Structure 1
Amino acid sequence: MSATRSTGIRTALLTVPLALGLLGAAVAPAGAATGHRAGTSLTCHGAGVDPSARVRYRTETLIHAPLRTVWRLQTDVARWPDWQATVRSAERLDDGPLRAGSAFRWTTPLPPNPASTDPTLEITSTVRQLRPGSCLRWTGPAVAAGLRIDGVHVWNFTEVPGGVLVRTEETHTGPQVDANVPAATGILRQGLEGWLHDLKTTAESGAR
């Protein structure tokens, strides 16, 4: 996938008002992830996504890299901009290893759109559950002037022959996404599969 297309996928996730009429403009890389919405929701320490959310998506991919590499990439939040093209900044709001209670703030560009004049969307995430090398669950809002999306995001990591099976599920709530659930779900799908693609590509390239 080109850097331009990867950027389009991740930006779409967090710019719902602008992207509602642009579904299909960005396509996930073939074979990068297998998504589905059916079945039991993912959990971490027994907690899952928002059961009342109308916008939800789950997807997974096999990464041919050691678990320690995949886990380090995913939990070293401050380095997300190094391998995620649309993450412009990321900062931890506490010190030490990522753990339950840790918080982080990150930003992504927000193109001009009817809902907000802000150039940047700011996301503040708080880790609610974490099991080292196994699972993560965080919650938090993505906000700009006139725009708010509340998300719950769960990640599961399982060592399998040949690498790590990474599964992720996320829900979104808020007036902008609830106004058009099918479109917002499609945007969420593109964003999650784009994230897995970037994680897979970076981990398999030998990043440490």
Structure 2
Amino acid sequence: MSSNHPQVPPNGRTSRRPRQGGRLAALALPFAVAGVLAASVSTAHAAPAPAREDRHGGSATCRGEGVDPGARVRYAADIVIDAPLSTVWTLQTDVARWPSWQPPVLTAKRLDPGPLRKGSRFRWTTPAPPTVPADAMTITSTVGQLRPGSCLLWRGPAVGEGARIDEGVHLWTFTKVGGGVRVHTEETWTGAQVDADVPNSTRLLGEGLEAWLRDLKATAEARSGHPRG
């Protein structure tokens, strides 16, 4: 991991960054996971998202494995990125550099060497909402499936003091299309806290995924010389 990017302390906790935007204070559920606060942190500064197909359910897979079919909290979305597939794939799989282009990712650290592959593990942190004692939520993810340049799936818990998501399963697929690359993502959450309020949990999950797609699109297009207008 580059020294230019924050490191996760041994205890998995990190100092809280200054909270931005009024929507952070409005979060009512006692949990957060990577991307949930992305909408709160970056939406106020982001340009309107381009039109795309959004779905709350999904059926995509990576090497035959998909998100949790029994999860009550789920969201899926798509976006087309005007950039080479290699650029999009590198951004998404260079986990240690996520903080350089995703404001809500405070730290990200690979837990094993070499290229990202099935079985790889990484630990990352995001801000916790003001409704819980934690400064940050810590997510430890394990890659369940990966096909280079095509798809990626990881899973793992998100834990902070007073908050927990038992398991998040996150799937990504990448397909060359006219005009660039279609990126499809699906995620499911399971656990007592998220299941206690499925509509709000789903809303928060959706906001996080939409923000991730916007950040990925903006960064990939800027690097390929096709910045979003």
TM-score > 0.5 by shorter chain: yes
Report the Cα distance in structure 1 between the residues aligned to 2:29 and 2:143, rounded to whole angstroms. 24
Using the TM superposition, name which of 126-135 and 146-155 deviates more: 146-155
Report the Cα distance in structure 1 between the residues aligned to 2:49 and 2:89, rounded to whole angstroms. 24
Relative to 1, partners in 2 of residues 1:32 and 1:203: Cα closer, same or farther, differing over 3 Å? farther
Any idea what the Cα deviations from partners look like across 1:138-157, whole Å, max 9, x if unmatched? 00011012221120000000
Question: Post-superposition shift, 1:42?
Answer: 1.3
Relative to 1, partners in 2 of residues 1:84 and 1:42: Cα closer, same or farther, differing over 3 Å? same
Matched with 1:106 is 124
Letter in 1 for 2:188: T
Matched with 1:146 is 162
Question: Post-superposition shift, 1:176?
Answer: 1.4
Question: Post-superposition shift, 1:8?
Answer: 5.9
SS of the residue aligned with 1:97?
A: coil
Matched with 1:82 is 100
Any idea what the Cα deviations from partners look like across 1:67-90, whole Å, max 9, x if unmatched? 000000000000000000011110
Any idea what the Cα deviations from partners look like across 1:97-150, whole Å, max 9, x if unmatched? 10000000001111321xx31101100000010000000000001101222112
Structure 2: segments with no counterpart, 5+ residues: 1-19, 33-38
Matched with 2:192 is 175
Report the Cα distance in structure 2 between the residues aligned to 1:200 and 1:32, rounded to whole angstroms. 13
Q: C-alpha root-mean-square deviation of aligned residues, in Å?
A: 2.5
Matched with 2:134 is 118
Relative to 1, partners in 2 of residues 1:103 and 1:184: Cα closer, same or farther, differing over 3 Å? same
1:1-208 matches, within 5 Å, as 16-17=29-30, 29-31=48-50, 33-38=52-57, 40-113=58-131, 116-149=132-165, 150-206=167-223
Contact 2:31 2:193 in 1 (8 A): no
Report the Cα distance in structure 1 between the residues aligned to 2:119 and 2:31, rounded to whole angstroms. 33
Query: Percent identity between the aligned chains?
Result: 59
Contact 2:30 2:129 in 1 (8 A): no
Question: Post-superposition shift, 1:34?
Answer: 2.9
Structure 1: segments with no counterpart, 5+ residues: none
Contact 1:33 1:197 in 2 (8 A): no
Report the Cα distance in structure 1 between the residues aligned to 2:192 and 2:109, rounded to whole angstroms. 28
Report the Cα distance in structure 2 between the residues aligned to 1:131 and 1:47, rounded to whole angstroms. 12
Report the Cα distance in structure 2 between the residues aligned to 1:157 and 1:121, rounded to whole angstroms. 28
SS of the residue aligned with 1:51?
A: coil
Report the Cα distance in structure 2 between the residues aligned to 1:188 and 1:41, rounded to whole angstroms. 17
Question: Post-superposition shift, 1:33?
Answer: 4.2
Contact 1:33 1:193 in 2 (8 A): no
Contact 2:134 2:161 in 1 (8 A): yes
* TM-score, normalisation: structure 2: 0.77
Letter in 1 for 2:180: G
Question: Post-superposition shift, 1:31?
Answer: 2.1
Any idea what the Cα deviations from partners look like across 1:36-64, whole Å, max 9, x if unmatched? 124x5110000000011000000000000
Contact 1:91 1:105 in 2 (8 A): yes
Report the Cα distance in structure 1 between the residues aligned to 2:99 and 2:217, rounded to whole angstroms. 15
